[in-house]
Amino acid sequence: MIELTDLTKVYGRGDDRTVVLDRINFRVEQGEILAVVGPSGAGKSTLAQCINLLTLPTAGSVVVNGEDLTTLSSQKLRVARRRIGTVFQSSGLFERRTAAENVALPLDYLGVTADESRRRVAELLDRVGLTSRANHYPFQLSGGQRQRVGIARALALRPSVLLSDEATAGLDPTTTSSVVDLLRELRDDLNLSIVFITHEMDTVLKIADSVARLDHGSIVESGRVVDLLTDPASSLGAELRPQGVAADAADGQRIWQVVYDAPDVPSDWISRASTDLGAPVAVLGASVQSVGGVTVGSATLGITEALSARVPEVLRRYGLATVGARAAQELEGVA
């Protein structure tokens, strides 16, 4: 478990004072993955450095498994940092060391015996699927393989918290999916608390249980991914929600934008709504998927203009919220 309470980072003094992080609060339970998203300059990099205490916060606390790391002496802090493994954007591998030698670095630093280090490195490379690449140098590995080595190294000291700082940035979609799958697998197997810092919204849907949006040093919105996706009023949910591309509407139709805002939307809601309205509901575009076992998404519907007054109430019966409507002719040049 990791918990940040009123975490604040300020650079400079007086007129030159800049608040980079302003009272950040969140808690990540064991076995949970929290994604932190936000635009460039929001403070994500500083947050990562404060979480692993590479940069000391100005105020607030970083508590791991009940112990406040910000109150420890330098000597005790060096020991406590082992509880947080970090995976960096560029993998951070030493080019003149093999994959096995890179994974062994934290163990070498602690003076672990050669035999014990070899066993641990072999175990970790096997876990990330790179046993056959143990003696390869970073330039001989793909981007995804380098990140897997970085993940193995981050796990060398058996941390309870894993910090992923833009670990999938710059990777192609297939490689990103493989890294995400590995992190989820490690979370499940090792009961890790994972803080996943990213700017890739689609990746959040694949990996996170919860998400927080950081903007200008403050968390402006946070919650469980499923709750945000099914909340029509959530701006973060709207950014995360998959969007469908609308097709042409028929004459006399009104165009409705709807979102799934209940965990139990029936799969046959289109036919049910059509029956209730006494007219067909045309799906002009939709993007729907399962997140955490809950169906989420949005759809663009075409429904006879004359029924407009009844549409919101009928769709509400099936767990759909209307978030916009316009005449069919307004769709031209927009879809």
CATH of the domain at 268: 3.30.70.260
Pairing between β-strand 218-224 and β-strand 210-215 as defined by DSSP bridges: antiparallel
Same domain (yes/no): 146, 173: yes
Instruction: Pick out the chain residues at pLDDT < 70.
Output: 243-249, 328-335
What would you measure as the largest C-alpha separation in the chain, in angstroms? 79
Same domain, 216 and 247: no
In this structure, is residue 333 part of a structural domain?
no
Question: How many domains does the chain fold into?
Answer: 2
143 and 263 share one domain: no
Same domain, 141 and 275: no
- Please indicate, yes or no, if residue 196 is contained in any of the structural domains: yes
pLDDT given at position 333: 46
The whole domain housing 102 covers 2-225
Amino acid identity of residue 259, one-letter, is V
* Structural domain includes residue 106: yes
Considering the domain architecture, whether residues 253 and 302 belong to the same structural domain is answered as yes
Nearest-angstrom CA–CA distance, 126 and 149: 11
Give the model's pLDDT for residue 153. 96
**Is 52 in the same domain as 188?**
yes
Residue 306 in any domain: the answer is yes
* pLDDT (0 to 100) of residue 7: 97
CB atoms within 10 A of CB 332: 9
Residue at 233 is within a domain? no
Distance CA 115, CA 119 (A): 6
**pLDDT for the residue numbered 13:** 87
Does a structural domain hold residue 89? yes
- Kindly report the number of other CB atoms within 10 A of residue 143's CB atom: 16
Asked which of 225, 260, 275 is the last residue of a domain, the reply is 225
The answer on 323 and 176 residing in a single domain is no
| Residue 236, domain member (yes or no) | no
Q: What is the pLDDT of residue 65?
A: 92
